[in-house]
């Protein structure tokens, strides 16, 4: 089988070929050399999720400087590099690099490929370093870089918003519903069920020439130890030496010597981590046979022995360090109770009534102190961002991912006028987390709920600040009870609508006709009683009166220019001829 089959390339000798790395799943003790190493990435129902080991670095000219063929990093990690070293005292100036079979001679003559800035998913792949002119000998150094799509300590298919405990060492692994990833050279006992995952406690080492979930597999039928063999699990674990089969520096142990002893002597068993040498016992602050158990913090539930648990990291608490604190700024919480300092919670969390720990916002609420409203039509929103996954309420725009339903119309107002008078209307929108979002939209007022009908509507000043934007309009020919629609539009389409119903004044009407107090050849003086709000029709307030007159020979009512409106309860018409 092929570990990596890649597209054709032109070798340094200009002969087109395919570059493949052979894996043999049946003959694990074979010594025939094909390329720089062999490993197995396949699995079946009988292999207990651990791929058979394979020999490596048989006679390569160049090998990874840490002698590991894979490394797993997280998206966003910094300071990541791939180092190589010569096994034949070859001059580094002759080193040539490729990634996924694509040449990058810009870094030739170096023993390290440095990934600048933060690691991205596209940086994942096979990194190769060979000696100039000798690539066809198939003795180059190879390193598989595995990049988890989520940042460190995070997981989740959508927004990496799940948390992964960082206390997992070679004694604890996470088991998914379908796949078990059990660290090499250990037996298991289930410790505690947690959401989605089960914690697996691997506390009995297999010893020489054994591997697998239950230590029932052998590296060799001849009893040779698992030296020079790679063990590979599904991504993102990658490959490592088996526990104890690398010349660990003093104070380290385990698979590829990645675990640290905490012994007074500074020495421990390379397989198990059990303290050896003199003086015996653990360093100050540590206890247990393998000295990875902080005295004041942890207990492995259900086992009366020393389990290899690290001390809880900053944002976790509890007996197994699997309970999340959710404190503002990821500051440390009380390691026993989980209470955050001053009960100050991270966005999306609050302390509910009668509780002491930060818990997720209830109902359609999100943000810091759960102070903001969700605007989702079919589902609750993301408790941190407020973004909806099932559509927005009509007033909110479903455009600007990941902040869906966070830009929308929040208010509309008008000044009540008399019938036939132009009515001023204002529409106000929430800008959303990104102020640039609202600038991509057109703020309009329409007589139709979906289409744009702005007949008799003029747009005035648009004002706003960092959080809101308000647009002013003047509307002619408004009838009592008419509905107008504030809209946010883009490219001719309406994305949000907020309706407002206009109510005009019902003009006050006198129930008693005015009386003529004085009549001459050219003048008439009239008087009337003040309008009574309780007993007469119309809406207050009355700000004045407008007297009308009509000549006996005329058909229309008229007013005198100087007469409207008046504050008194009498008026004299003049120049009547």
pLDDT in tens, 291-317: 443 333 322 222 333 333 345 777 888
Hey, where are the domains in the chain? 2-148, 165-207+244-324, 396-501, 508-577
Closest CA to 57 of 48, 49, 46, 68: 68
Q: Look at 159-168, 237-246, 280-289, 392-401 and tell me which has the smallest mean pLDDT.
A: 159-168
Pairing mode of beta strands 483-490, 468-475: unpaired
pLDDT of residue 228: 61
Tokens of 321: 């360090």
CA end-to-end span of the chain: 116
Domain 2-148 and domain 396-501 have a common topology: yes
The CATH label, of 3.30.420.40, 3.30.1490.20, 2.60.40.10, 3.30.1360.170, for the domain at 2-148 is: 2.60.40.10
- In 100-185, the DSSP E strands lie at 102-103, 112-114, 125-131, 141-148, 154-155, 162-163, 172-175
Average pLDDT of the chain?
76
Q: Look at 25-29, 110-114, 558-562 and tell me which has the smallest mean pLDDT.
A: 25-29
Closest CA to 443 of 455, 428, 432: 428
Q: Look at 317-321, 393-397, 406-410, 437-441 and tell me which has the smallest mean pLDDT.
A: 317-321
- Count Cα neighbours of 308 within 13 Å in the Cβ-side half-sphere: 25
pLDDT of residue 118: 92
Closest CA to 374 of 409, 345, 420, 405: 405
pLDDT of residue 26: 28
CA 305 → CA 112, 309, 312, 507, distances in Å? 43, 12, 19, 89
pLDDT of residue 165: 44
Q: Report the distance separating Cα 170 and Cα 274, nearest Å.
A: 13
Assigned CATH for 396-501 = 2.60.40.10
Tokens of 217: 């597999």
Peptide bond into 541 cis (omega under 30): yes
Q: What is the pLDDT of residues 319-351, one digit of tens each?
A: 667 788 999 998 989 888 899 999 999 999 999
pLDDT of residue 404: 82
pLDDT of residue 253: 78
More confident: 23 or 537: 537
Q: Is the pTM of this model over 0.75?
A: no
């Amino acid at each position: 089988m092929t570990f990596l089959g890649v597209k054709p390339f032109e070798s340094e000798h200009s002969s087109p070929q395919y570059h493949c790395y052979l894996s043999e799943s049946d003959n694990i003790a074979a010594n025939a050399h094909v390329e720089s190493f062999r490993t197995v990435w396949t699995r079946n129902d009988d292999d207990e999720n651990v791929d058979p080991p394979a020999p490596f670095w048989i006679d390569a000219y160049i090998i990874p400087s840490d002698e590991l063929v894979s490394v797993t990093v997280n998206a966003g990690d910094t300071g990541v590099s791939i180092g190589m070293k010569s096994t034949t005292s070859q001059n580094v100036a002759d080193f040539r690099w490729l990634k996924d079979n694509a040449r990058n001679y810009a870094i030739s003559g170096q023993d390290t490929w440095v990934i600048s800035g933060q690691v991205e998913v596209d940086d994942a792949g096979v990194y190769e370093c060979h000696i100039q002119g000798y690539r066809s000998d198939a003795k180059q150094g190879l390193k598989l870089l595995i990049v988890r799509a989520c940042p460190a300590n995070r997981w989740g298919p959508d927004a990496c918003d799940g948390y992964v405990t960082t206390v997992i060492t070679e004694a604890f692994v996470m088991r998914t519903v379908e796949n078990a990833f059990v660290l090499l050279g250990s037996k298991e006992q289930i410790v505690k069920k947690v959401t989605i995952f089960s914690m697996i406690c691997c506390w009995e080492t297999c010893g020489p020439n054994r591997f697998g979930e239950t230590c029932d597999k052998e590296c060799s039928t001849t009893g040779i130890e698992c030296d020079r063999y790679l063990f590979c699990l599904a991504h993102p674990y990658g490959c490592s030496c088996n526990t104890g089969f690398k010349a660990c520096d003093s104070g380290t142990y385990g698979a590829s010597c990645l675990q640290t002893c905490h012994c007074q002597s500074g020495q421990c068993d390379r397989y198990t981590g059990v303290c050896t040498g003199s003086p015996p016992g653990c360093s100050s602050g540590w206890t247990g046979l393998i000295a990875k158990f902080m005295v004041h913090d942890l207990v492995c539930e259900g086992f009366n022995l020393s389990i290899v648990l690290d001390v809880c990291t900053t944002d976790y608490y509890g007996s197994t360090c699997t309970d999340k604190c959710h404190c503002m700024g990821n500051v440390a919480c009380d390691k026993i109770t989980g209470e955050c300092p001053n009960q100050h919670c991270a966005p999306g969390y609050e302390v509910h009534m009668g509780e002491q720990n930060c818990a997720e916002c209830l109902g359609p609420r999100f943000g810091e102190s759960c102070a903001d409203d969700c605007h989702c039509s079919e589902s609750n929103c993301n408790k941190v961002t407020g973004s909806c996954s099932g559509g927005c309420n009509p007033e909110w725009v479903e455009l600007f991912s990941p902040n869906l339903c966070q830009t929308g119309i929040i208010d509309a107002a008008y000044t009540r006028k008399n019938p036939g008078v132009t009515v001023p209307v204002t529409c106000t929108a929430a800008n959303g987390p990104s102020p640039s979002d609202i600038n991509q939209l057109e703020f309009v007022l329409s007589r139709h709920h979906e289409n744009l009908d702005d007949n008799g509507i003029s747009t005035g000043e648009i004002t706003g600040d960092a959080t809101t934007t308000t647009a002013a309009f003047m509307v002619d020919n408004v009838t009592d009870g008419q509905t107008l629609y504030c809209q946010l539009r883009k490219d001719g389409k309406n994305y949000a609508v907020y309706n407002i119903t206009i109510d005009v004044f019902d003009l006050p009407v006198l129930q008693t006709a005015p009386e003529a107090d004085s009549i001459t050849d050219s003048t008439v003086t009239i008087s009337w009683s003040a309008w009574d709000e309780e007993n007469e029709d119309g809406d207050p307030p009355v700000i004045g009166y407008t007297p009308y007159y009509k000549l006996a020979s005329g058909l229309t009512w008229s007013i005198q220019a100087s007469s409207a409106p008046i504050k008194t309860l009498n008026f004299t018409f003049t120049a009547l001829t």
